[in-house]
Chains A and B, each alone.
Chain A
C-alpha cells in the first residue's frame, strides 16, 4: 500500500496536475482566453441564477397539432371519396377521429381507398412499419380514421424541430448573447437568455404564431350580417387587429402565404412618415401576388396575421414588382416586431410559456458574493479543524483537499459545466466530505496502532482497510447524485454535477494523493511513532 513505483507516482501527479490545469482559464478575463488555442478555452459557465438572465419553457399546443392533422385527414377523405365517386354522409371530426358513413356495399372499397392515405411513420426510412393513420370499420357503414399514438409523437417531434428553428431565428433577432435553445421532452422547448432582465418582450415575440396570409375581402356582405353568422360558405369573418372597424369578411382562399416572403424590414412611409413594414416576395410569391392584384384592381385585400386583419388596403394598380409595404397604425416597436416575425417565419403551431424563471443581475451578483464567502469560510473552518485534530496528518489532509477542490474546478471546466448557487454549496459540502476519507484512513491507522502494530505496518493496514470502506460509502452518495442529475433542472442539476464530480475526485485523491504523500513521508522519516 505504501510502495509506489517511480512511474506510478509520476503518473498520479501528472494526472492531478493536468486536471487542475483545466481550471486555469477561469482565472483570466474572457477576452484574453478567446485568443488561446481552442482546447484551452473551456471554462466554467455561470448558471442563470448567478449571472442573471431569463429561462423560459415553451410548450407546443399538442391539441392544435392534432386538430390540424385531423382537418387534413378530413379534407383528404373528402377528396378521395369524390374522386372514387363514392357517396358518403356525415363526414365529421369527432373527438380524436374523423368519421364518415358510406353504404354497406361500398365499405370494403372505401376502406381500401382510405388505407392508401396512410404513410409510414418517419418517411421511407422508417423501419417500424407503423402508419400514421389508422382506418377502422366501426360497423354499420361507419368508418373511423384516427391517429395512432406513435404517429402523434412523431408529428409532435417534427413540429418541435421546426419550431426550434423559428424560435432560434426570433431570439437571435433580439441580439442577445449566447442564448441556449433546446428541446425538452416530447413537446417542450427550453429558451435560456443570459443577461435578459425582462422577458416580457421575448414572450410576446415567441407567443405569436406569425401565420401571414394575403386574402381578398368580400365587401358584398354587410358586417352586422357577418357577425350574426350569415356568411357565404367560402368566406369567414376575421376581427381587425386595431378596430374600428371590428373586422372584415374575407375569402377563405389564400392568395399568397407568409412562406413566400423572403425579406421584411421596418421602415418609415415616405409620405406619411408612419412606421411601416416593407416586404419582398420570392419568385413564385411575386407571380401569385401579381396575378391576384391584376384580377382585382379596385377591390380591397386583407393582410392577415394570426387570423387578425392588420390592414385591408384597396388595390389601386397591379403590383408586379414582388414588393410591398404593410401599414397598420404601427409604432416603431410593433413594426420592428412584425418585421422580425415575418423574417423568422411562422411557427407550425402556437407555443405557450409554461415556466419562466428570471434572475436579475443584482441578485446574481449577490449570490456569487455570498456563495464565495460561504465557500471560503466553510473551507477555512474545515482546514483549521483538521489541523487541530490531526496536526501533521492534518497538513497532509489539507494538501489533498486543496488538490481535490482544484481538480473539481478543472473537471467542471473541462465539461464546461454550469456552476449554480446550489453547485457552490455542493463544492463546500464536498470539502466537508472529502476530509472524511482522510478521517476514515487516519482513524483506522490509529486503531491499528492501538492494536500493537508497528508504525509502518499500521499505516499500511489502515490504508488497505479504509479504502474499501471509502469506495463503498462514496458509491451510495454517487448514486443519489446521479438520480438528482437525471430528475433535476437548472440550479439543482448544478448541485448534482458538483456533488458527483466531487465524489469522483475525492475517491481519486484518497486512493492516490493522500497515499502518495504519506508514503513519501514514511520513506523520508522512517518514523518510530506516528504523530496522529
Chain B
C-alpha cells in the first residue's frame, strides 16, 4: 500500500467518524465568523479606493514595462518537455547540442526531478513550415536519449488567432455578464459589478506580470473563472443590498451597505475557505501542468475576488447613486414587497 493510499484511507475514516459524531449531535460548533458583526466596511472605502487605484496603476505600468510572459500559445514557437532516460539530464551538454542547430536561443529549464527539462525554442522566421523543421531538428539532435513527454508547436498564424480569440472571449464574457446584471438589477449595479470586474482582471494581470507565469490559453481560462467567481460573490452581496433597499426605505446608504456586507460576511468567508481548500489541493498535488493555472486562480479568486466584492463593488454603489430616490420609489416597491410576503 502506498503512502497516498494510506493518507486517503485515514482521511476517509476521519470523515466517517466526524459524520457519525455530527449526526449524534456531539460535535462542538465551529464559528469562524461571530454572529453579529458590525464592521464599518463602507467607511473603509476612503482607504480601499485609493489603494485599489494605486495597485491598478502599478499593474498597468507593470504590464507595459515588464510585460507578460507570453507562452507559445500566443507567441508561437516550440515547447518540449523531455525526461532524460539516464536519470539525470546534462543541461550543459544539451545546451551545446541544441545551440549548434542554428535555431537561435534555446531556453532550457530544469523542473520537477533531475531528469526533467523544459525546452523552449523561439518562433523561427519563415512561417509555419519553419516551426516544423525546427522541431524535427531538435528531435533528431536529442534522438533516443530522452523521453518526449510533451511537444507543442504553434505556428505564427495560429498564435495570432489564439490571442485574438482569447481577448475577444474575455470582452464577450464581460459584456454578456453586464447585460445579464442589467436585466436582473438596475444599471448602477451592472456598472458597479463591471468596475469591480475590470479591477480584478487588471490586478490579476499585474500579478501575472510580476510572477512571470506563462500567459497562455489556460491563463485566459483562469481569468474567466476568476471573473465568474468574483461576480458570484458580488451578486450575493448585491442581492442582499437590493433586498435591504426594499425593506428599509429610510436607512442611509452607507449604513445599509454595511448591514448588507456584514450579514453576508459569514457566507463570504466560509465559501472562500472551501474554494481555497479545493485550490490548495490542486496547487499542492495537481502537478506542474496546472500549477500556474491554479496559482493565478488562487490569487484572483481568493485574494482579489473577496476583497473586490466587499471593498469595491458594494461601496461604489454610493457613488453610482443607488438608493438616492427611494422615497419616490416607495409606491412602486410596496406592491413588490407584498408579493414576496
A residues contacting B by CB (< 8 A) are: 49, 57, 59, 197-198, 200, 203, 352-360, 362-363, 366-367, 370-371, 373-389, 391-392, 394-395, 398, 421-422, 424-425, 428-429, 431-433, 435-436, 439-440, 443, 446-447, 450, 465, 468-469, 472-484, 486-489, 491-492, 495-496, 499, 531
16 sample A-B contacts, Cβ–Cβ < 8 Å, listed by A number: A49-B289, A360-B149, A380-B11, A382-B278, A424-B286, A425-B293, A440-B267, A475-B180, A476-B231, A480-B224, A480-B228, A480-B231, A481-B224, A481-B228, A487-B220, A496-B221
13 additional A-B pairs beyond A200-B139, A378-B281, beta carbons within 8 Å, are A352-B155, A353-B153, A354-B158, A357-B151, A358-B150, A373-B4, A375-B281, A433-B229, A436-B232, A468-B239, A476-B180, A480-B173, A480-B231
- A54 (CB) vs chain B CBs: closest residue: B151
Indicate whether A476 sits within 8 Å of B282 (C-beta atoms), given known contacts A395-B23, A487-B165.
no
Contact A382 to B274, CB < 8 A, known contacts A392-B25, A394-B22, A443-B266 = yes
Interface residues of B (CB under 8 A from A): 4, 8, 11-12, 14-15, 18-19, 22-23, 25, 27, 29-30, 32, 35-36, 81, 83, 128-129, 132, 135-136, 139, 147-155, 157-158, 165-166, 168-169, 172-173, 176-177, 180-181, 184, 217-218, 220-221, 224-225, 227-229, 231-233, 235-236, 239-240, 243, 263-264, 266-267, 270-271, 273-282, 284-287, 289-290, 293-294, 297
**B236 x A355 contact (CB < 8 A):** no
Report B26 CB to chain A, min CB distance, Å: 9
A188 and chain B: residue at smallest CB distance:
B158
Contact A421 B263 (CB under 8 A): no
Known: A363-B81, A382-B274. A476 touches B228 (CB 8 A): yes
- The one of A198, A358, A440, A446 in contact with B236, judged by C-beta atoms closer than 8 angstroms, is A440
When chains A and B are docked, how far (Å) is the Cα of A468 from the Cα of B184?
11
User: Looking across the interface, which residue of chain A has its beta carbon closest to that of B136?
Assistant: A200
Main secondary structure of the interface of B (DSSP, over half): helix
* Residue of B12, B147, B176, B274 with highest tally of chain A CB at under 10 A: B274
Say how far A192's CB is from chain B's closest CB, in angstroms: 14
Residues of A close to B152: CB separation below 8 A: 356-358
B12 nearest in chain A by CB position: A380
| A220 → B minimal CB distance (Å) | 37
> Do A432 and B277 touch (CB < 8 A)?
yes
Given contacts A353-B128, A376-B8, contact A483 B281 (CB under 8 A): no
Q: How far is the CB of B289 from chain A (nearest CB, A)?
A: 6
Q: How far is the CB of B149 from chain A (nearest CB, A)?
A: 4
B236–A432 contact, CB under 8 A? no
Residue of A nearest to B240 (CB): A469
Collect the chain B residues with CB atoms within 8 Å of residue A358's CB.
148, 150-152
Decide if B282 touches A374 in the complex (CB within 8 Å): yes
Distance between Cα atoms of A395 and B21 in the complex (Å): 10
CA distance A375 to B243 in the complex (A): 37
Q: Are A421 and B22 in contact (CB under 8 A)?
A: no
Q: Is the CB of A371 within 8 A of B239?
A: no
Partner of A436, one of B15, B274, B284: B274
A492 touches which of B4, B221, B287 (Cβ 8 Å): B221
B128 close to A488 (CB less than 8 A): no
A360 to B85, CA, bound (A): 14
Q: Which residues of B sit under 8 angstroms from A352, Cβ to Cβ?
A: 128-129, 155
Tell me whether chain A's interface is mostly helix, strand or loop, or mixed.
helix
Q: Which of A374, A376, A486, A488 has the most CB of B within 10 A?
A: A374
* CB neighbours of B168 from chain A (8 A): 487
B19, B83, B184, B263: the one contacting A398 at CB < 8 Å is B19
Determine the chain B residues whose CB is within 8 A of the CB of A377 once the complex forms. 8, 11, 281, 284-285
Of B227, B279, B293, the residue contacting A480 (CB under 8 A) is B227
If the complex has contacts A59-B128, A352-B129, A382-B277, are A422 and B221 also in contact, measured as CB distance less than 8 A?
yes
Whether A380 contacts B232 by the Cβ 8 Å rule is: no
Q: What chain B residues lie within 8 Å of A474 (beta carbons)?
A: 232
Q: Which residues of B contact A387 (CB under 8 A)?
A: 15, 18-19, 22, 27
Separation in Å of the B166 CB from the closest CB of chain A?
6
On whether the beta carbons of A395 and B129 are closer than 8 Å, the reply is no
A385-B277, A392-B22 are known contacts. Are A360 and B286 too (CB-CB below 8 A)?
no
Chain A residues within an 8 Å CB radius of B228: 476-481, 499
CA A359 to CA B287, docked complex, whole Å: 15
Q: State the Cβ distance, A506 to closest chain B Cβ, in Å.
A: 11
Contacts of B285 in A (CB 8 A): 370, 373-374, 377
CA A488 to CA B222, docked complex, whole Å: 12
Complex: chain B residue closest to A370, CB-CB:
B287
> What separation, in Å, do the CA atoms of A447 and B235 have in the docked complex?
19
Q: Is the CB of A384 within 8 A of B155?
A: no
A198 CB to closest chain B CB (Å) equals 7
Picked from A370, A395, A476, A495, the residue with its CB within 8 Å of the CB of B22 is: A395
